[in-house]
């Protein structure tokens, strides 16, 4: 990690905020795909007020969900992804990567914040900076 530029990241991370609610944490990871934290912050309160649990998300009206997600872009795709991931969540999974919409960022977040596994090398700069700030990653 020599030469890594340390940058200011918004703390707490969404993964820290929702560490005690793994489903919401994964929802945030999915929402962060191809968008900025500030944009997710603008919609997450409304999203989790209307759909506070995975069971509520499964029952979501796709158009209403897409309306909430509209400021993030890709809102129709995101709505479908969140409903499908939530259905899979409720029905069980053995590896978080089995869940629809979960990519490497969400997998690394799961390892760090749900499995307490800091013996990974995330590719995401924010996760790397978080690990450095927490003292679990040396330059």
Active-site residue set: 124
Left, alpha or beta for 123 (phi > 0: left; psi -120 to 50: alpha)? alpha
Q: Are 50 and 68 in contact (CB under 8 A)?
A: yes
How many whole angstroms separate alpha carbon 135 and alpha carbon 55? 37
Tokens of 49: 């007020």
* First-to-final CA distance of the chain: 4
One-letter-per-residue 3-state SS of 42-73: HHHHHHHHHCCCHHHHHCCCHHHHHHHHHHHC
């Amino acid at each position: 990690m020599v030469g890594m530029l340390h940058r200011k990241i918004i703390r707490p991370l969404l993964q820290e905020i929702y560490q005690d609610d793994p489903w919401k944490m994964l929802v945030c990871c999915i929402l962060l795909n191809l968008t900025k934290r500030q944009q997710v912050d603008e919609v997450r309160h409304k999203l989790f007020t209307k759909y506070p649990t995975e069971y509520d998300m499964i029952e979501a009206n796709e158009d209403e969900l897409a309306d909430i997600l509209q400021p993030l872009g890709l809102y129709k795709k995101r709505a479908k992804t969140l409903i499908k991931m939530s259905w899979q969540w409720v029905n069980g999974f053995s590896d978080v990567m089995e869940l629809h919409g979960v990519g490497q960022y969400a997998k690394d977040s799961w390892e760090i914040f749900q499995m307490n596994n800091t013996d990974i090398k995330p590719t995401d700069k924010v996760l790397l900076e978080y690990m450095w700030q927490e003292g679990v990653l040396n330059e």
